[in-house]
A and B are shown apart, each in its own frame.
Chain A
Amino acid sequence: MTAASPAVPAVSAGRGGRRLLDLWACWWVFPPFYTLFGIIFVPLTRVMPPPSPAKPTAQIVLFFHAHALTIQIGFSVLMLAIGAGSVLNGLVAYQMRRMTVDPVFAYTYIATLAVGAIPGCLFCAFSFLAATFRPDRDPHLIALCYDLGLLTFVGSLGCFATQYLIFAIAIFLDRNKIFPTWLAYISIWQVVTELVAIPVFIFTGGPFAWNGAISFWEGTALFGVYIACLIMCVRKAIERQQPGERVPG
Chain B
Amino acid sequence: MTAEARSRPADAPAQRTPALPGDAGMWVFVLGDMVIFGVYFIVFMVYRGHEQAVFLASQRHLSLASGAVNTLVLLAGSRFAALAVAAARAGDDRRASRLIGWCGICGVAFLLVKAREWYSLVSAGRTVTRNNFYMFYYAFTGVHLFHVLMGLVVLGVMLAELRRPAGRRTWLIEAGAIYWHMVDLLWIILFALLYLMR
B2 contacts chain A at the CB level, 8 A cutoff:
yes
A214 touches B29 (CB 8 A): no
A31 contacts chain B at the CB level, 8 A cutoff:
no
Interface centre among B25, B132, B147 (most CB of A within 10 A): B25
Give per-residue flags for B13-40: 1 if the beta carbon is below 8 A from chain A beta carbons, else 0. 0000000000111101100110010011
A177 touches B33 (CB 8 A): no
A186 and B40 alpha carbons, distance in the complex (Å):
18
Partner of A181, one of B23, B40, B139, B143: B23
Q: Nearest residue in A to B179 (C-beta to C-beta)?
A: A185
- A interface size (C-beta, 8 A): 23
* Shortest distance from the beta carbon of A101 to any chain B beta carbon, whole Å: 15
With A182-B24, A184-B25 in contact, is A195–B32 under 8 Å at CB? no
Which residues of chain B are near A207, meaning CB under 8 Å?
43, 47
A206 contacts chain B at the CB level, 8 A cutoff:
yes
Which residues of chain A are near B135, meaning CB under 8 Å?
199, 203, 206, 208
Interface of B is mostly: helix
Partner of B29, one of A182, A196, A202, A206: A182
With A181-B2, A196-B143 in contact, is A218–B29 under 8 Å at CB? no
A185 and B34 alpha carbons, distance in the complex (Å):
13
> Which positions 145-187 of chain B face chain A at CB distance < 8 Å?
146-147, 150
Which residues of chain A are near B26, meaning CB under 8 Å?
185
Q: Nearest residue in B to A221 (C-beta to C-beta)?
A: B39
Chain A positions within 8 Å of B, measured between CB atoms, are 177, 180-182, 184-186, 188-189, 192-193, 195-196, 199, 202-203, 206-208, 213-214, 218, 222
13 examples of A-B residue contacts, CB within 8 angstroms: A177-B6, A181-B24, A182-B2, A182-B25, A192-B33, A192-B36, A192-B146, A192-B147, A202-B128, A208-B139, A213-B43, A214-B43, A218-B36
